[in-house]
Amino acid sequence: MKLNGKIAVVTGAASGMGKAIAELFAAEGAKVVVSDLNLEQAGKVVEGIESRGGVAIAITANVAVEEDVQRLIDSTVSRFGTVDILVNNAGIMDNFVPAGDMTDALWDKVFAVNTTGPMRTIRKTLPIFMEKKAGVIVNIASAGGLFGSRAGAAYTASKHAVVGLTKNVGFQYATLGIRCNAIAPGAVETNIGSTLTAVNPFGMERAQVGMGINPGLGKPEDIAKVALFLASDESSFINGTTITADAGWTAY
Ligand code: NAD
pLDDT in tens, 71-120: 999 999 999 999 999 999 999 999 999 999 999 999 999 999 999 999 99
Label each residue of 230-250 as H, E or C.
HHCHHHCCCCCCEEEECCCHH
Residue 251 lies in a domain: no
Question: Residue 220 falls within a domain, yes or no?
Answer: yes
Among protein residues, the one with the nearest Cα to ligand 1's atom 44 is 142
CATH number assigned to the domain comprising residue 86: 3.40.50.720
The whole domain housing 187 covers 7-243
Q: How far apart are the first and last CA of the chain?
A: 36
List residues bridging with 59 in a β-sheet: 35
Number of domains into which the chain is organized: 1
- Whether 1 is covered by a domain: the verdict is no
Closest atom of ligand 1 relative to the 189 alpha carbon: 41
Residue 250 lies in a domain: no
In a domain? residue 25: yes
CA of 131 to the centre of ligand 1 (A): 30
Domain membership flag for residue 252: no
Measure CA 36 to chain center. 12
Q: Is residue 248 part of a domain?
A: no
How deeply is 204 buried, as exposed, middle or buried, from its count of CB atoms within 10 A (0-12, 13-18, 19+)?
middle
Partners of 181 in the β-ladder: 138
pLDDT at 96: 98
pLDDT in tens, 31-46: 999 999 999 999 999 9
Distance 13 CA to ligand 1 centre (A): 8
Whole-prediction pTM: 0.99
Per-residue pLDDT, 132: 98
The candidate with the shortest Cα–Cα distance to 113, out of 152, 177, 64, 58, is 64
Find all residues with CB under 8 Å of 25, minimum gap 6, and list them: 3, 6, 8, 10, 32, 85, 87, 224, 227, 228, 231
* CA dist., res. 107 & res. 93, Å (int): 11
Round to whole Å and give the CA distance between 41 and 58.
9
190's torsion region: left (phi>0), alpha (psi -120 to 50) or beta?
A: beta
- Would you say the CB of residue 185 lies under 6 angstroms from ligand 1? yes
Say yes or no: CB of residue 113 within 6 Å of ligand 1. yes
Q: What is the pLDDT of residue 219?
A: 98
Residues with catalytic annotation?
Answer: 155
CA distance 158 to 156: 6
Stretches where the chain sits below pLDDT 70 are: none
Alpha-carbon distance of 126 to 135, in angstroms, equals 8
- Beta carbon of 16 within 6 Å of any ligand 1 atom: yes
What is the rounded distance in angstroms from the CA atom of residue 5 to the CA atom of residue 28?
9
Ligand 1 within 6 A of 11 CB? yes
Q: Which residues are registered as beta bridge partners of 178?
A: 135
| Secondary structure class of 85 (helix, strand, coil) | strand
238 within domain boundaries: yes
